[in-house]
A = this chain, B = another copy of it.
Amino acid sequence: MIIVLKPGATKEAADEILAQIEQRGLKPLYMPGVERIVLGALGDERKLSDLNFNAYPMVDEVKPILTSYKLVSRDFQSHDSLVKVGNVEIGGSTFIAMAGPCSVETEQQIELVAEAVAKAGGKILRGGAFKPRTSPYAFQGLGLKGLELLAKAGKNNGLPVITEVIDSHDVGLVAEYADALQIGARNMQNYQLLKAVGQAQRPVLLKRGPSATLEELLLAAEYILSEGNQQVMLCERGIRTYENAYRNTLDLNAVAYLKLKTHLPVIVDPSHGTGVHDLVAPLTLAAAAVGADGVIVEVHPEPKNALSDAQQQLRPEEFARLTQKLQQVLTAVGREF
């Protein structure tokens, strides 16, 4: 940790801080510069996290050297983690397509989609049963009934299933039906929920919040791992920027960056990531090229009758055409599908 003092800071102000650093067992450094006094702390600076050096009147800035996350870091574990959803392995040489409707609506709808997903090479079925909605007047999901239909459709078509959980008290219930739990973007910093899924026996897909930095995403994942659940996938799903030509700005830089910094698999959601039907296919191909470990795509038999996110869902035949192209791009970058 580096601590820059304000101009005019005294030796006494510096000594007070240096003493605290030493007391915590780190090596203190005193570096008087031309314009500023700079202090340093060598050692595991996470031990200093409850000392509020930035609240000292003579301190101008505190610059950490180490990352604030640890268990999820590639420095901590250099090889890629594999996550297993049902019998599907994510994070290895095979790229995984998860697909399904935004919301489970009827038995016929989810069965129809599940069949189409399986046929097109999708490996995991997604579908929402509990839906967090911006407006109190919008469809909120089928709840338990939705879980049952999803699980059944998955089983009938040989696909493990993933669905969102939005309340820490529902984790047990959802885990009974789902092979993987999804934490939605709006809940990325719902720490009650992160702890609950951290104690569950199910892999977790953790979505990046719409204005979360990658450091915050990694810290949210750290919450889950620190509770004992190592089976975490990160998911880039579009961030909020000033640009409003699309609902979100899918950030593919994040994928390449995360693959450098963490050993966890990285999934891309081009449906929410753009929020625009015509952008889903090209961004899916780009996700494969940039090095993602999989995608999660919304597919609906009749998007214009969908009860949520109609404008971004692909029809089954569109999804099938997309997976064909996807396969070619994956071959080009040396991955299987």
User: Cβ of A136 and Cβ of B289 under 8 Å apart?
Assistant: no
Kindly state the separation between the CA atoms of A189 and B35 in the bound complex, as whole angstroms.
28
Residue of B nearest to A225 (CB): B136
User: Cβ of B252 and Cβ of A283 under 8 Å apart?
Assistant: yes
Per the CB 8 Å criterion, the residue count for chain A at the interface is: 105
Interface status of A4 (Cβ within 8 A of chain B): yes
Interface status of A192 (Cβ within 8 A of chain B): yes
Residue of B nearest to A211 (CB): B211
Stretch from A81-89, A114-122, A146-154, A307-315 at the B interface: A307-315
CB-CB under 8 A for A136 and B190, given A52-B306, A286-B286, A291-B282: no
Interface status of A186 (Cβ within 8 A of chain B): yes
User: Cβ of B245 and Cβ of A304 under 8 Å apart?
Assistant: no
The proximity string for A residues 324-337 relative to B, scoring 1 for CB distances below 8 Å and 0 otherwise, is 01001101110000
User: Cβ of B257 and Cβ of A245 under 8 Å apart?
Assistant: yes
> A122-171: which have CB < 8 Å to B?
132-140, 166-169
CB-CB under 8 A for A278 and B260, given A44-B34, A54-B310: yes
Which of A63, A189, A332 has the most B CB atoms < 10 Å from its CB? A332
> Across chains A and B, which 7 residue pairs bring their CB atoms closest together, nearest first?
A211-B211, A52-B310, A55-B310, A289-B289, A286-B290, A328-B332, A332-B332
